[in-house]
Amino acid sequence: PGDSVQMRDGRLYLNDALVPRRRIEDFTYVEYRTPTTLTQYVETLPDGREYRIVEESDNGPRDNTPVYHVPSGHYFMMGDNRDNSNDSRVLSSVGYVPAENLVGRAALRYFSTDGSARGWKIWKWPFSVRLGRLLQPVR
């Protein structure tokens, strides 16, 4: 709450200061049985906390934004897949998250699919499960 957040040329700025990032190994995931490789970085917040992000490029539709001023009592949420996340940068759908809506921290990825099996296509369910992501801790 009270911070300003902006994306400029695919880079995150908090309170008008560039958040440093360093490139690490590429990240590959499978969606609809098609592998996609993305550039992966580690960003370091001003307090020293680090986390991984992935990007297709630094010039996507959400890579240059206005300055968001996070209101008191609210939080700004941004996805780790920067070019494929509906997050607080989309004020019309997600926007700022009220503090009272936060109930805990994600700790475990319980179940994951590649999106290839629609809910009514029961016969495809077993083939869409991403076994390597089941019961994995969230970093």
- Beta carbons within 8 Å of 102's beta carbon, 6+ residues apart: 75
**Residue ranges per domain, the chain?**
4-102, 104-139
CA 95 – CA 87 distance, rounded (Å): 7
**The pLDDT of residue 113:** 79
Reported as a pLDDT band with limits 50, 70 and 90, residue 97 is very high
pLDDT of 33 strictly over 80: no
pLDDT of 5 strictly over 80: yes
**The pLDDT of residue 41:** 98
Residue 101 contacts residue 78 (beta carbons within 8 Å): no
Q: Which residue has the higher pLDDT, 73 or 118?
A: 73
**The pLDDT of residue 1:** 82
pLDDT of 30 strictly over 80: no
Bridge partner list, 102? none
Helical residues (DSSP H) of 4-124, grouped into ranges: none
- In terms of Cβ atoms closer than 10 Å to its own Cβ (0-12, 13-18, 19+), residue 34 is exposed
pLDDT of 118 strictly over 80: no
Q: Read off the pLDDT of residues 98-116 as tens digits, 9 standing for 90 and up.
A: 999 999 888 888 888 777 7
Q: Read off the pLDDT of residues 6-25 as tens digits, 9 standing for 90 and up.
A: 999 999 999 999 999 999 99
pLDDT of 31 strictly over 80: no
**The pLDDT of residue 124:** 84
Give the mean model confidence (pLDDT) for residues 58-78.
Answer: 96
**The pLDDT of residue 70:** 98
Residue 68 contacts residue 76 (beta carbons within 8 Å): yes
- In terms of Cβ atoms closer than 10 Å to its own Cβ (0-12, 13-18, 19+), residue 7 is buried
